[in-house]
Amino acid sequence: MTLNNKINKNSIIQISGKLLSLFFGLATVAIMTRYLGQEGFGYYITVVAFLQFFGILVDFGISLTTVQMISDLRRNVSDVLSNILTLRVIFSIIFLGLAPIIIWFFPYPMVVKLGVLITSFSFFCITIIQVLTGMFQRELKMLDVTIAEIVGRVLLLVMTIVIVFLGKSILWIFLAISIGSFVNLIITYLYSRKYFIFKWSFDFSVWKEVFQRTWPIALSISFNLIYLKMDTIILSLTRSQSEVGLYGATYRVIDILTNLPAVFMGIVLPHMTKYFIDNNKTELKNLMQNTFNSLMIFAVPIVVGTFLIAEKVMVFVAGSEFVDSGEILKVLILASGAIFFTSLFGYAVLAVHKQKVMMWGYLTTAVVTLAGYIYFIPKYGVWGAGWMTVFSEAVIAIWTFVVVYRETKFVPSFNVFIKGVFSSFVMLGVLYLIRDMHVLILLGVACVVYFGVMYLIGGIRKGFWKESWK
């Protein structure tokens, strides 16, 4: 099987698996929102946001560096990966161990503090899985890691249903989250033994190289923390938990959407890196254009269609108590669209080794966004948080594009994008005529109309994705 066909196959496997995994995750959230209500779900969102802050610190850029280092065929994969996993375990224990301690200095209710203590183990498991995933990406064997994730998600869904049936507290849900992540880790590790054998490794020359590669990414990630996670944390400290719940329910939908480009780019990154190292600018630009087309084909109709059916989506996902989240979704969907664009150029920054340059972009955005959060969120609540999030994502999208352009001189063709816009507005017109129908029917009609029009006007041809990777 050729490399292009392997990329296609693994893209389909991982994206399909991720969609299935996200479906089970969405089902779990749907049960939780209806069971916990706005305030209870606000507690859940606060716990997750607090731990995500520490989880990103734990990453230290190592997940992305792993893909880069093991993509070098001259290296011993087992040696490199064992050293990186050893580092990751140490970092996880240090940073995630701090979270249950630091939370006690915040004015949160006891349920939030205990929730952080219980759920921190889930984030420990996730940080290890992230490193192992890099190896599966290198081997183009994403089916294994996809199965592990789906099993973990299904287990969490089943446990959540049982907890709700028995009428248990939210603390049991936090425990279920940790158990699901642990099962995911065990299965992922067992699959990984087909490709490498882990052993505790302390090769400080490898550690030094990891730190040299990751410190710009680590600083960038630290800055990212400010504009990605501080909105929810500041919201939880200055507004009611009910408002946090409304905002958090919307963010669960956004997380689902933004997971897709992240998964896709995780597969593409090793090959972008290889083309850059080989100084094959022609193939690099072709790959970037094909990737841009693929991302925009999905991003455009999602953004356009959401403005008509946002309330229906949120009621379907979270229940009638969260109908107000629909208006928030109309704002955050703009940030989601920017993330689709940024996914290509953000990962390209790593491929062309311009992390140090991009660091200043993240710093500038973080400072301005944090100031905006501090000023706008106490006054305007979710609206201040939402619009500042849109602002920060738009700035990063522009900055990453400029950095990559200076290195590659790549400017994407917007031919497919324009056809996507036209098809999306045709789709929107049809949806308006049947806007009172159930949201699932609306989504089904939207897909048929959009992709049908795209095919008719040449935005998508037969065998489009297969040809795109040639």
Report whether pLDDT(213) > 80: no
| Burial class of 212 by CB neighbour count within 10 A (0 to 12, 13 to 18, 19+) | exposed
Type of residue found at 278:
D
Could you give the CA distance from residue 368 to residue 372 in angstroms, rounded to a whole number? 6
Contact criterion met (CB below 8 Å) for 125 and 187 = no
Residue range 62-91, pLDDT digits in tens: 666 666 666 655 666 667 777 878 888 888
What's the average model confidence in pLDDT over 325-339?
Answer: 92
Query: What is the predicted pLDDT for the residue at 342?
Result: 87
The CA distances from residue 56 to 60, 91, 327, 450, in Å, are: 7, 11, 29, 36
Query: What is the predicted pLDDT for the residue at 138?
Result: 65
Query: What is the predicted pLDDT for the residue at 349?
Result: 85
User: 446 versus 276: which is more confidently predicted?
Assistant: 446
User: 287 versus 202: which is more confidently predicted?
Assistant: 287
Reported as a pLDDT band with limits 50, 70 and 90, residue 10 is: low
Could you give the CA distance from residue 232 to residue 125 in angstroms, rounded to a whole number? 23
What's the average model confidence in pLDDT over 139-161?
Answer: 85
Report whether pLDDT(117) > 50: yes
Contact criterion met (CB below 8 Å) for 125 and 182 = yes
CB atoms within 10 A of CB 298: 16
Reported as a pLDDT band with limits 50, 70 and 90, residue 53 is: confident
Residue range 341-369, pLDDT digits in tens: 888 888 888 788 787 788 788 888 888 99
Q: What is the largest CA-CA distance in the chain?
A: 64
Question: Which are the contacts of 194, defined by CB distance < 8 A and separation ≥ 6?
Answer: 144
Query: What is the predicted pLDDT for the residue at 67?
Result: 61
What's the average model confidence in pLDDT over 297-313?
Answer: 93
Q: Following DSSP, what letter does each residue of 430-451 receive, concatenated?
A: HHHHTTTS-HHHHHHHHHHHHH
Report whether pLDDT(121) > 70: yes
Report whether pLDDT(175) > 70: yes
Report which of 350, 53, 64, 384 is spatially closest to residue 225, judged by C-alpha positions: 53
Q: Is the dihedral of CA 311, 177, 182, 206 positive or negative?
A: positive
Report whether pLDDT(448) > 90: yes
**Domain locations along the chain:** 3-413
Could you give the CA distance from residue 466 to residue 262 in angstroms, rounded to a whole number? 20
Mean pLDDT of the chain: 84
Report which of 391, 278, 268 is spatially closest to residue 3, judged by C-alpha positions: 268
What's the average model confidence in pLDDT over 293-317?
Answer: 92
Contact criterion met (CB below 8 Å) for 66 and 137 = no
Residue indicated by tokens 């806007």: 435
Q: Tell me the angle at which helices 281-318 and 439-456 cross, rounded to the nearest 10 degrees.
A: 160
What's the average model confidence in pLDDT over 362-388?
Answer: 91
Reported as a pLDDT band with limits 50, 70 and 90, residue 13 is: low
The H or E element containing residue 424 is helix 415-433
Report whether pLDDT(455) > 50: yes
Report whether pLDDT(3) > 60: no
Query: What is the predicted pLDDT for the residue at 470?
Result: 47
Reported as a pLDDT band with limits 50, 70 and 90, residue 408 is: confident
How many residues does this entry show for the chain? 470
Query: What is the predicted pLDDT for the residue at 426?
Result: 95
Report whether pLDDT(424) > 80: yes
**Percent of the chain scoring above 70 in pLDDT:** 85
Report whether pLDDT(322) > 50: yes
Q: Quick check: pTM over 0.85? A: no
Type of residue found at 260:
L
Report whether pLDDT(39) > 80: yes
Query: What is the predicted pLDDT for the residue at 250?
Result: 92
The CA distances from residue 130 to 67, 89, 469, in Å, are: 10, 12, 26
Query: What is the predicted pLDDT for the residue at 465?
Result: 47
Pair of tokens at residue 93: 């224990």
430 φ/ψ sector (left φ>0, alpha ψ -120 to 50, else beta): alpha
Question: Which are the contacts of 291, defined by CB distance < 8 A and separation ≥ 6?
Answer: 264, 265, 268, 344
Query: What is the predicted pLDDT for the residue at 262?
Result: 78
